[in-house]
């Protein structure tokens, strides 16, 4: 059974800029944690158009969800960590995110993450 991509891939320019800023810019990192979609739009990201509706009213199974639509990052990994994993994260962003999304937070055990 093959894993289906669940999100649309990011354009290379947007993915490159995203990783540049997450690895270097404190203001952008704060904005990304507060409102990731607004932060993505600020660097040129545009959500994909909705796919076709089937006769049953369901969105086609080929439809892809916008990247980061339900992203919840409470604490980003250090800039150095993101920079060190840049190639791996870039690869994931360019092919679309499947069930395993890149971990941009510190990877703390659930018990250590405070929930609002």
Q: What is the pLDDT at residue 62?
A: 46
Q: What is the pLDDT at residue 2?
A: 46
- The C-alpha atoms of residue 23 and residue 116 are separated, in whole angstroms, by 26
Domain ranges (residues) in the chain: 12-49+66-95
pTM for this prediction: 0.66
Regions of the chain with pLDDT less than 50:
1-3, 5, 60-64, 113, 115-116
Residues contacting residue 109 through CB under 8 Å, at least 6 positions apart = none
For residue 74 the two structure tokens come to: 């409470």
- The C-alpha atoms of residue 53 and residue 73 are separated, in whole angstroms, by 31
């Amino acid at each position: 059974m093959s894993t289906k991509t669940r999100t649309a891939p990011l354009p290379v320019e947007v993915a490159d800029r995203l990783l540049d800023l997450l690895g270097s810019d404190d203001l952008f990192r704060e904005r990304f944690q507060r409102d990731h979609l607004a932060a993505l739009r600020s660097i040129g990201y545009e959500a994909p158009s909705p796919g076709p509706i089937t006769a049953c009213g369901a969105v086609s199974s080929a439809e892809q969800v916008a990247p980061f639509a339900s992203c919840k990052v409470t604490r980003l990994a250090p800039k150095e960590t993101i920079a060190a994993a840049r190639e791996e994260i870039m690869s994931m962003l360019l092919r679309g995110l499947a069930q395993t999304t890149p971990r941009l937070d510190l990877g703390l055990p659930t018990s250590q993450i405070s929930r609002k």
